[in-house]
């Protein structure tokens, strides 16, 4: 039985999507959410916030989602940080690549804010 999911580090460069996801996860889902607008900001927040899960946009300027996850997992204590990617590119081959990089799953954009928390829980509970 995994611990209940409470703290989510959310990395997304689009301010409008940041707002929708933060509201959906905090108000509807009851999670604590730390929003970062870049991989660099996520690196800075990691030790302070100590997330249980990284929720990452795939396509971002500078450091993309997979690269951000790689850097987060290089930090002491976060080598096995669970991650879920969000992307508009959800062709099976693209999803397979993201899962091969260690993601619990991939959530398609656009997404339904009312069911986002439930989707995270479903993917979270599937982890060993």
Q: What is the pLDDT of residues 28-56, one digit of tens each?
A: 999 999 999 999 999 999 999 999 999 99
Q: Tell me how far apart the alpha carbons of residues 4 and 89 are, in angstroms, rounded to a whole number.
A: 29
Q: Is the pLDDT of residue 117 over 70?
A: yes
- The three-class DSSP label of residue 62 is coil
Q: Is the pLDDT of residue 109 over 50?
A: yes
Quote the pTM value: 0.94
Q: What is the pLDDT of residues 6-16, one digit of tens each?
A: 999 999 999 99
Q: What is the pLDDT of residues 74-102, one digit of tens each?
A: 999 999 999 999 999 888 999 999 999 88
Q: How far is CA 24 from the centre of its chain?
A: 14
Tokens found for residue 85: 């990617």
pLDDT given at position 1: 40
């Amino acid at each position: 039985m995994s611990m209940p999911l409470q703290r989510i580090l959310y990395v997304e460069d689009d301010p409008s999507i940041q707002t929708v996801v933060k509201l959906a996860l905090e108000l509807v889902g009851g999670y604590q959410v730390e929003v970062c607008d870049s991989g660099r900001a996520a690196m800075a927040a990691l030790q302070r916030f100590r997330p249980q899960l990284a929720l990452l946009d795939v396509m971002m300027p500078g450091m993309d989602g997979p690269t951000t996850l790689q850097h987060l997992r290089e930090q002491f204590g976060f080598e096995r940080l669970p991650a879920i990617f969000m992307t508009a590119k959800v062709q099976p081959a693209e999803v397979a690549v993201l899962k091969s990089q260690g993601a619990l799953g991939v959530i398609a954009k656009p997404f339904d804010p009312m069911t986002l928390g439930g989707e995270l829980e479903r993917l979270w509970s599937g982890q060993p």
